[in-house]
């Protein structure tokens, strides 16, 4: 056989290359048998450095990144990404996709003290991005949780120069932290209402006799989440009861608000016939109990998440939340990890009652809504004061409760700058479902993992500071009965005597005529 003169050098190179590949495969397989911890870290790191940018080395790096993300240790994944990603220039797109996940999971979690140094490095690395700013909020959360206000302020001030576009925003957070305490009386509603599961969306009736709320995981529930109610007897909330099959089904049902007359309930859930993930429904009390469940039509309900409906006291205006496209900022649907939570970019909308139904919804605008989540709106019976929860306004972390006032009688898109209700009401976790009593002196809300909680979200009442109160409203109480004293279901129209115009109407409770 004829051989070329350079055959043997090529053969030698081929043998060496095959030996390298076999060695690489053997080490690649054996490295996965070594448990990863602080003592073995250098073995894993050495393998990546030695064999990068090979596919085998990338598999090892990808394994470390994905494993730590799955274990909710995103800040550790960031450490590996920063140390090794530059060794794989040909994998830039893939590593950038992984980095996006790392960023979202870093700001989703609750950092441990041992990870603060890495978290601060993350902030410096990606400032002035929004992810870095949310990471700064996470860095201060533990200090806020333990009421170390001055220490939390120091953290914000130390990193404030990295966020020049957020200077005013951070200043407002610092003002909240340094504001004097009001000595508010915050009271857990107790074990007859709260449980080890979640309770949220407290909805007191205007007369204060009942409170309805949403909960899940109770033995007598019909589905995943149900509506329950409790009666107040001599200042004590009685054991909560399921609201029954007219309201609750085998899926998710939650309560959003109660009408000003106390007889209509706004719900949202996955009832039969729902257009999208969550739809808005309405039910009224009739003489023999609850009437038929009404599914609100398009364009209030859509194929998106629509919830949180609240009817004005005159019955002419409906406010609700939705994650539909076209809101303030980029479209991010509910349920996907974004801005450190799964609430997407939900906004608050308003529509108006017409002779033919409901008008096209209008976004409340950028004073109230942000590119992040706004939820659980409550319009006080004064028709002007709006309470809502937001992840986009200056706050203590995640959803905080805010107050805003409508500036003009003829506009629903002009609002005062939202005011944070303060460090005694808001926490570092989600605070929402805020409902103010008719008198305006107190409120009910849901909060997560307070020290006096029973587990998950619990329901609380709070006395309100002056700045958080709505305008005073006049109330008229009475009952409508027939000549024999039997309660009647009657429609009462309210007119402005100076103009002879109808300004509202209500229907009495058929059970007691109130």
Q: Could you tell me if 450 and 312 lie in one domain?
A: yes
What's the chain's average pLDDT?
A: 88
Q: Could you tell me if 272 and 335 lie in one domain?
A: yes
Q: Could you tell me if 143 and 225 lie in one domain?
A: no
Percentage of the chain modeled with pLDDT above 90: 69
Do 314 and 302 touch, CB atoms closer than 8 A?
no
Q: Residue 404's pLDDT is what?
A: 98
Q: Could you tell me if 387 and 320 lie in one domain?
A: yes
**pLDDT tens for residues 452-472?**
889 889 999 999 999 998 876
**pLDDT tens for residues 182-193?**
889 899 999 999
Q: Could you tell me if 295 and 359 lie in one domain?
A: yes
CATH of the domain at 290: 2.120.10.30
**pLDDT tens for residues 416-466?**
999 999 999 999 989 988 999 888 889 999 987 777 889 889 999 999 999
Asked which of 178, 203, 236 is the last residue of a domain, the reply is 178
Q: Residue 13's pLDDT is what?
A: 38
pLDDT at 4 over 70: no
What is the rounded radius of gyration, in angstroms, for the C-alpha atoms of the chain? 29
Residues with Cβ < 8 Å from 496, sequence gap 6 or more? 502, 503
Domain, as residue range, for 508: 476-514
Its sign, for the CA torsion 18, 22, 25, 28, is negative
Does residue 240 belong to any structural domain of this protein? yes
Query: What is the rounded distance in angstroms from the CA atom of residue 443 to the CA atom of residue 186?
Result: 10
Q: Could you tell me if 463 and 484 lie in one domain?
A: no
Question: Closest by alpha carbon to 388, among 432, 440, 351, 425?
Answer: 432
Asked which of 178, 196, 231 is the last residue of a domain, the reply is 178
**pLDDT tens for residues 196-233?**
999 999 999 999 999 999 999 898 888 889 999 999 99
Q: Could you tell me if 233 and 278 lie in one domain?
A: yes
Of the listed ranges 19-23, 260-264, 461-465, the least confidently predicted one is 19-23
Q: Residue 14's pLDDT is what?
A: 39
Q: 7 pLDDT band (50/70/90 cuts)?
A: very low
CA angle 322, 201, 172 (to 5 degrees): 70
Q: 475 pLDDT band (50/70/90 cuts)?
A: low
Does residue 21 belong to any structural domain of this protein? no
Asked which of 178, 201, 222 is the last residue of a domain, the reply is 178
Residue 470, CA atoms < 13 Å, CB-side half-sphere = 26
Q: Residue 494's pLDDT is what?
A: 62
Q: Residue 8's pLDDT is what?
A: 42
pLDDT at 289 over 60: yes
pLDDT at 93 over 50: yes
Query: What is the rounded distance in angstroms from the CA atom of residue 53 to the CA atom of residue 275?
Result: 49
Number of domains the chain is built from:
3
Does residue 61 belong to any structural domain of this protein? yes
Does residue 17 belong to any structural domain of this protein? no
Q: Could you tell me if 464 and 480 lie in one domain?
A: no
Q: Residue 364's pLDDT is what?
A: 99
Query: What is the rounded distance in angstroms from the CA atom of residue 449 to the CA atom of residue 428?
Result: 10
Q: Could you tell me if 380 and 272 lie in one domain?
A: yes
pTM of structure = 0.87
Q: Residue 482's pLDDT is what?
A: 64
Do 212 and 253 touch, CB atoms closer than 8 A?
no
């Amino acid at each position: 056989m004829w051989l070329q003169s350079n055959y043997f050098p090529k053969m030698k190179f081929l043998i060496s290359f095959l030996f390298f590949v076999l060695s690489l495969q053997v080490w690649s397989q054996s490295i996965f048998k070594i448990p990863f911890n602080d003592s073995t870290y250098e073995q894993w790191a050495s393998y990546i450095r030695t064999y990068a940018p090979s596919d085998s080395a990338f598999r090892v790096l990808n394994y470390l990144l994905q494993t730590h993300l799955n274990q909710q240790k995103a800040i550790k994944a960031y450490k590996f990404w920063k140390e090794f990603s530059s060794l794989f220039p040909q994998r830039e797109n893939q590593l950038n996709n992984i980095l996006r996940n790392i960023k979202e999971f870093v700001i989703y979690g609750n950092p441990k003290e041992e990870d603060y140094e890495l978290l601060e490095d993350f902030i410096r690395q990606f400032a002035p991005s929004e992810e870095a700013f949310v990471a700064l909020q996470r860095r201060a959360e533990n200090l806020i949780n333990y009421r170390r206000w001055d220490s939390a302020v120091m953290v914000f001030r130390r990193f404030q120069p990295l966020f020049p576009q957020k200077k005013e925003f951070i200043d407002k957070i610092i003002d909240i932290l340094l504001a004097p305490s009001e000595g508010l009386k915050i009271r857990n509603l107790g074990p007859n209402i709260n449980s080890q599961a979640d309770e949220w969306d407290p909805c007191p009736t205007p007369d204060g006799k009942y409170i309805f709320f949403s909960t899940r995981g109770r033995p007598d529930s019909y589905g995943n989440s149900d509506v329950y109610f409790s009666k107040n007897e001599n200042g004590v909330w009685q054991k909560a009861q399921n609201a029954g099959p007219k309201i609750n089904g085998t899926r998710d049902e939650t309560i959003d608000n109660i009408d000003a007359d106390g007889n209509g309930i706004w719900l949202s859930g996955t009832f039969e016939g729902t257009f999208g993930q969550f739809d808005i429904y309405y039910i009224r009390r009739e003489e023999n109990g609850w009437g038929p469940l009404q599914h609100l039509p398009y364009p209030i309900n859509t194929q998106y998440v629509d919830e949180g409906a609240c009817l004005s006291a005159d019955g002419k205006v409906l406010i609700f939340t939705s994650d539909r496209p076209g809101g303030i900022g980029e479209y991010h649907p509910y349920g996907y990890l974004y801005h450190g939570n799964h609430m997407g970019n939900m906004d608050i909308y308003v529509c108006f009652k017409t002779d033919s139904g409901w008008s096209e919804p209008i976004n409340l605008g950028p004073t109230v809504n942000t590119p992040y989540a706004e939820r659980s709106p409550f319009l006080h019976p004064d028709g002007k004061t709006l309470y809502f929860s937001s992840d986009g306004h200056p706050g203590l972390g995640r959803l905080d409760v805010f107050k805003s006032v409508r500036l003009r009688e003829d506009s629903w898109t002009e609002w005062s700058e939202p005011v944070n209700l303060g460090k005694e009401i808001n926490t570092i976790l989600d605070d929402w479902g805020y409902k103010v009593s008719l008198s305006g002196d107190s409120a009910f809300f849901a909060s997560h993992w307070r020290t006096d909680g029973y587990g998950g979200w619990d329901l609380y009442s709070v006395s309100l500071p002056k700045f958080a109160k709505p305008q005073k409203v006049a109330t008229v109480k009475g009952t409508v009965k027939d000549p024999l004293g039997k309660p009647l279901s009657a429609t009462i129209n309210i007119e402005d005597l100076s103009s002879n115009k109808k300004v509202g109407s209500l229907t009495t409770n058929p059970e007691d005529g109130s």
